Amino acid sequence: MSYARLCFLVCIFIALAACGTLDKEKRAAGRGEPAISGSPFVTVAGNQLLRRGSPYYFVGANFWYGAYLGSTDEGRRRLQKELDQLKSLGIDNLRVLAASEQTELSMAVSPALHLTPGQYNEALLIGLDVLLAEMAKRDMVAVLYFTNFWQWSGGMSQYMAWLTGEPPLDPDVTNDWSGFMQNSAKFYRSREAQEWYQQLIRTIVTRTNSITGVPYVDDPTIMAWQLANEPRPGSDEGGRPFYPHYKEWIQQTAQFIKSLDANHLVSSGSEGSMGTLRDLDLFRDAHDVPEIDYLTFHLWPKNWGWFDVKKAEQTYPQTAANSKAYILQHLQVAKELGKPIVLEEFGIERDGGDYRATAGTGQRDRFFRELFGFVETQVKIGSALVGTNFWSWGGLGIAQSADFVWRPGDPFTGDPPQEPQGLNSVFSRDASTLEVAREHAKFMKSR
């Protein structure tokens, strides 16, 4: 055989082998089996997430202030300790606030990353770099959200304040939550606000990490970009006429992110039906766009009036039943849309509604155990549920005042500034709660 002919046959052989491998990977993903090799990025295959070619199931936490810790020397020391602890427990998927807006809102965090349209706080951007670099060392992944529907980080209401030149509507002063939500939702239909928001997105997505030198778009430490924390179409009473703008915003923002970054997943940050005018069909419709890779939903028994900490024993059974029903409804939507789904927020107070870090966590442990057990059942039967992030990691943070109110300069806990410090925080010392999470992580990693 001539040398040229031999080379030709070898090339054909290699090409056929490669096709066979790809084919096998596709088939394995379709059957929910581990593929042979795979992308370092978290990717989607049908109702599943894949990481490095294997199905990816996770236990995660909300760590909204991660980039804040990365922005100071003291914070970095705390960050390293906390990431070590989380990693040792198997909690390795962190949902993080990527951008806050500077605001006069009374219960908002400061400093902020987005100072005025187009101007950013470099220290907090570096904080995000540090967070990602430290997470990469520990093989953890992050979900990063770009703004907030709520007031505690400035959020959409601050974009509206920039637009009008008026102070933002402050729901913690007026107590007019419906008015606040209707005003924040104008963000979706303001061309100028969308330009500022997209400029911010472009700045973050196209950034190169100053610590690792890795462009964000090439960094597998990022699992997903997320449009916002809990974006709603408006208030339950008044939001319906504006729903089309909301859906359009979801699709256009996701398209925009994809135009900058083909490697990472995109999700909305929605609470599910409770955040979509209490309408499951609208939740489904809003996420029935190809640019949204996976669904998200949140579960808040106390906020939704199911759980009353003062009548814990009486209200717990209904809380558990409602929670499971809510989960199942959302898994059904995910199945219908053929996408994975993440329960990326849930929480419950400490015993007796006591905010002190020394207060018991019996009721929280019970709730987490019950939810995680339910998640495991759903994972075993191959539903679309791929992971959870509890709300919220409080780590080594601690309330500084007897009134449990956060004030600028105080250490961060898992509870944002609008809520009592200690309300939903899972602290580093909460051994029994963390043991429940660790056990669940073991199961999820075995899938």
**101 versus 230: smaller Cβ distance to ligand IFL:** 230
When asked if residue 306 is in the footprint of ligand IFL (CB under 6 A), the reply is no
Min. distance of Cβ 236 from ligand IFL in angstroms? 16
* Identified binder of ligand IFL from the candidate list 344, 345, 349, 365, rule CB under 6 A: 345
On the CB side of 175, CA atoms within 13 Å amount to: 0
**152 versus 283: smaller Cβ distance to ligand IFL:** 152
Q: How far is CA 172 from CA 106, 410, 422, 438, in A?
A: 7, 20, 19, 37
When asked if residue 184 is in the footprint of ligand IFL (CB under 6 A), the reply is no
Euclidean distance between CA atoms 314 and 290, whole angstroms: 43
Min. distance of Cβ 57 from ligand IFL in angstroms? 23
Min. distance of Cβ 307 from ligand IFL in angstroms? 12
When asked if residue 416 is in the footprint of ligand IFL (CB under 6 A), the reply is yes
x/- mask, ligand IFL, residues 152-171, rule CB under 6 A, reads: x-------------------
Q: How many CB atoms lie within 10 A of CB 281?
A: 11
x/- mask, ligand IFL, residues 136-155, rule CB under 6 A, reads: --------------x-x---
List phi, psi (to 5°) of 416. Answer: -65, 170
Euclidean distance between CA atoms 233 and 57, whole angstroms: 30
When asked if residue 229 is in the footprint of ligand IFL (CB under 6 A), the reply is yes
Min. distance of Cβ 118 from ligand IFL in angstroms? 26
When asked if residue 389 is in the footprint of ligand IFL (CB under 6 A), the reply is no
Euclidean distance between CA atoms 223 and 263, whole angstroms: 9
On the CB side of 89, CA atoms within 13 Å amount to: 26
- The Cα angle at residue 331 between residues 330 and 337, in degrees rounded to 5: 90
**55 versus 66: smaller Cβ distance to ligand IFL:** 66
When asked if residue 293 is in the footprint of ligand IFL (CB under 6 A), the reply is no
Q: How many CB atoms lie within 10 A of CB 401?
A: 10
When asked if residue 230 is in the footprint of ligand IFL (CB under 6 A), the reply is yes
When asked if residue 425 is in the footprint of ligand IFL (CB under 6 A), the reply is no
**41 versus 300: smaller Cβ distance to ligand IFL:** 300
When asked if residue 239 is in the footprint of ligand IFL (CB under 6 A), the reply is no
Closest CA to 338 of 300, 288, 378: 288
**129 versus 230: smaller Cβ distance to ligand IFL:** 230
* Identified binder of ligand IFL from the candidate list 25, 344, 419, 430, rule CB under 6 A: 419
How many residues touch ligand IFL (CB under 6 A)? 11
Euclidean distance between CA atoms 93 and 76, whole angstroms: 19
Min. distance of Cβ 345 from ligand IFL in angstroms? 5
Return left, alpha or beta for 382; rule: phi > 0 is left, psi -120 to 50 is alpha, else beta. Answer: left
Taking the alpha carbons at both ends of the chain, their separation in whole angstroms is 49
Interface with ligand IFL in residues 51-110 (CB under 6 A): none
Min. distance of Cβ 423 from ligand IFL in angstroms? 7
Preceding peptide of 111 cis, ω within 30°:
yes
Closest CA to 265 of 35, 48, 64: 48
When asked if residue 267 is in the footprint of ligand IFL (CB under 6 A), the reply is no
Euclidean distance between CA atoms 397 and 357, whole angstroms: 10
* Identified binder of ligand IFL from the candidate list 225, 300, 307, 406, rule CB under 6 A: 300
**Given CA atoms 235, 343, 303, 284 in this order, what sign does their dihedral have?**
positive
Min. distance of Cβ 97 from ligand IFL in angstroms? 10
**29 versus 69: smaller Cβ distance to ligand IFL:** 69
Q: Which stretch binds ligand IFL (CB under 6 A): 187-195, 256-264, 369-377, 416-424?
A: 416-424
379 alpha carbon, distance to own chain's centre:
20
* Identified binder of ligand IFL from the candidate list 424, 425, 428, 433, rule CB under 6 A: 424
Residues 6+ apart with CB under 8 A from 357: 394, 398, 399, 422, 425, 427, 429
By the criterion CB under 6 A, which residues form the site for ligand IFL? 150, 152, 229-230, 300, 303, 345, 391, 416, 419, 424
